[in-house]
Structure 1
Amino acid sequence: MSSTLLDSSERLREILNRLSVMSVEDYYNPYRMFEWPEALPDEAWWMSPELMTTFDTDELSTLSESQKYALSRYESVNFYSLNVHGIRELLIEVTRRIHTTDFATPSEFFHHFIGEENEHMWFFAQFCLRYGGKIYKQPRGGAETVPPSSAESLLVFARILIFEELVDHFNSKMAKDERLHDTIRAINRIHHQDESRHIAFGRELVRLLFADFCENATTAERAEVHDYIRRYLDYSFESLFNPQVYRDAGLEDPLGVRRRLLESPRRTQFQRDVFRKTSSYLQKIGMISDEYESGKVANSPA
């Protein structure tokens, strides 16, 4: 990457200055903000039903009301577990780059970014451990080394952007869902508030990194990046479908449940809805083609 690329972007500087000011003005103490009740009600939604993996599928019709509530509990814990793992990865990668030559310009904002993400990881972990008794394991795959090496930082920040946009899709909807407990709504509302800034930054950073990569990339190298992003989108979406969740909710044949849900007619539209804004932006800057919107899905990275 050109060491002067980010330094020379006036648009990036304007975005960074604006977002840094917002980070300071919107700062809150997460350790004092949230009320953590001893327990959350079992016979209630812990995730908006429309966001659950079983919504509008044949699988849903086989479940009792109590099983639906139980599934919402475990899908909720899985979702926040994915946040914990995703934040851990982005903290590692951003920390590796802070105050390096290539990333001197965004380093000041990186301090806000790292601080906020660390606090997000804390309150997501708190939720999982308090109300689920565990953090689900990170799904395998998704972050393998990808050639060409010149695309490493590009793909790191593209992964971060995809992760943030996926969780923000859920956050923005659950923050407003009055069927959910106040604690659940508060967690999603606060995360959405912060992620809006992170996504604005991430989009501009990915655009600049991709433009820089394309200056010297071969057609084959660009195709490799395109294919990787496609696979990572699928991997990220499929991580919502955790067979351990179905097992914990008491569903028989959890691996079969996962397979049937991923093969169901609803999967394509669900995935398109989750990544509607993401895929539109990635198409706009040329990282993926419009084939992704057609619902054709590739194999997840392994």
Structure 2
Amino acid sequence: MVSDVIERSERFQGILGRLSAKSIDDYYNPYRLFEWPDRLPEDMWWMSPELTTTHGTEVAQRLGPEQAHALSRYESINFYSLNVHGIRELLVEVVNRIHTAGFEAPSEFFHHFIGEENEHMWFFAEFCLRYGNGRIYRQPAGAAVTPAASAAVENLLVFARIMIFEELVDHYNSTMAADERLHETIRAINRIHHQDESRHIAFGRELVQLLFAEVRKTATEEELESISSYLQRYMTHSFESLYHPQVYRDAGLDDPHGVRRQLLASPARARAEEQTFRKTAKFLRKTGILR
């Protein structure tokens, strides 16, 4: 039982207590925290250029300064749109487990998690609606979950996906929060999200380790290989969601679907994905989840 594994882990119990206390101490009102200018300057970066999907590619070399700034603007809107959709999905999964059998111990922290993620979804959506021409980019269908062999495997996959998504986003947040080339409004939302996500990631890693320990007791080699393969595909799918053809169309690039195919095939994409998930992949390999 999940609850037995969690209850026996004094380390996890201590982490839950500290993270819940930190959530209370760091609490803020997002509806009062941010200043929203009527408009943001268009002749500057809206995303760190090193994070844009064209960075280090032939496509980037063809862009003039104005189009490069426009691309970063729409890439920014897509990144926050990805957050809105990703947060909605993870909230559903956590709400489905709060105060249920097996998840009694982390339920108090789940309350903080749900409240914080709901507020994150609000300010990311607010940014898109204010500065993205009143819209949130649609996202491609997610990586389908292979029918789990057991409830234990399903729980592991759910929280591993949440952890992967949060670590992807946090890589971008931490970079943009410190980038003085960006407008302060952009830096502020990335900074506050990074502050909260550091707690969520710490929680997620501990929970995923415990869930995997439970799965490992009874899983076959074939099942462990399937879990590893699925999560590797999920990381790639999540990263490739940043490569949105509508972004390239809005930035005025010809043949946006062709641009996406070219960028996905570029060695720069592979390097960027590896760098983004460097810490995540190291953790998953160390625990034996990725094989």
TM-score bracket for the superposition, by shorter chain length: over 0.9
List per-residue Cα deviations over 1:183-230 (Å, max 9, x = no partner).
Answer: 000000000000000000000000000110010001111111011001
SS across alignment from 2:3: coil
Residue 292 of structure 1 corresponds to none
Q: Normalized against structure 1, the TM-score is what?
A: 0.94
Paired residue total: 289
The range that moved more, 166-175 or 138-147, is 138-147
Distance in 2, matches of 1:173 and 1:143, equals: 30
SS across alignment from 2:7: coil
Residue 64 of structure 1 corresponds to 64
Residue 279 of structure 1 corresponds to 281
Distance in 2, matches of 1:128 and 1:172, equals: 19
List per-residue Cα deviations over 1:91-143 (Å, max 9, x = no partner).
Answer: 10000000011100000000000000000000000000000021011221324
Residue 160 of structure 2 corresponds to 158
Residue 203 of structure 2 corresponds to 201
Q: How far off is 1:258 after superposition?
A: 0.5
Q: How far off is 1:5 after superposition?
A: 1.4
Are 1:134 and 2:151 matched, yes or no? no
Structure 1 segment 68-79 matched on structure 2, within 5 A: 68-79=68-79
Extract unaligned runs of 5+ from structure 1: 290-302
Alpha-carbon contact 1:78-1:245 (below 8 Å) kept: yes
Residue 258 of structure 1 corresponds to 260
Q: How far off is 1:147 after superposition?
A: 3.1
Alpha-carbon contact 1:97-1:103 (below 8 Å) kept: yes
SS across alignment from 1:39: coil
Q: How far off is 1:267 after superposition?
A: 1.4
Residue 89 of structure 2 corresponds to 89
Residue 124 of structure 1 corresponds to 124
* Residue 250 (structure 2) aligned to one of 248, 251, 256: 248
Q: Normalized against structure 2, the TM-score is what?
A: 0.98
Are 1:47 and 2:44 matched, yes or no? no
Distance in 1, matches of 2:2 and 2:175, equals: 39
List per-residue Cα deviations over 1:243-266 (Å, max 9, x = no partner).
Answer: 111011110010110011011111
Q: What one-letter code is carried by the residue in structure 2 that aligns with 1:135?
A: I
List per-residue Cα deviations over 1:44-82 (Å, max 9, x = no partner).
Answer: 100000000000100001111111011001000000000
Alpha-carbon contact 2:2-2:211 (below 8 Å) kept: no
Extract unaligned runs of 5+ from structure 2: none
Distance in 1, matches of 2:142 and 2:275, equals: 23
Distance in 2, matches of 1:86 and 1:267, equals: 21
Distance in 1, matches of 2:31 and 2:68, equals: 32
Alpha-carbon contact 1:147-1:224 (below 8 Å) kept: no
Distance in 1, matches of 2:147 and 2:128, equals: 32
Distance in 2, matches of 1:107 and 1:144, equals: 24
Residue 144 of structure 1 corresponds to 145
Q: What one-letter code is carried by the residue in structure 2 that aligns with 1:252?
A: D
Q: How far off is 1:146 after superposition?
A: 3.3
Structure 1 vs Structure 2: percent identity of aligned residues? 66
TM-align CA RMSD: 0.9
Q: What one-letter code is carried by the residue in structure 2 that aligns with 1:102?
A: G
Distance in 2, matches of 1:3 and 1:204, equals: 14
Distance in 2, matches of 1:232 and 1:275, equals: 12
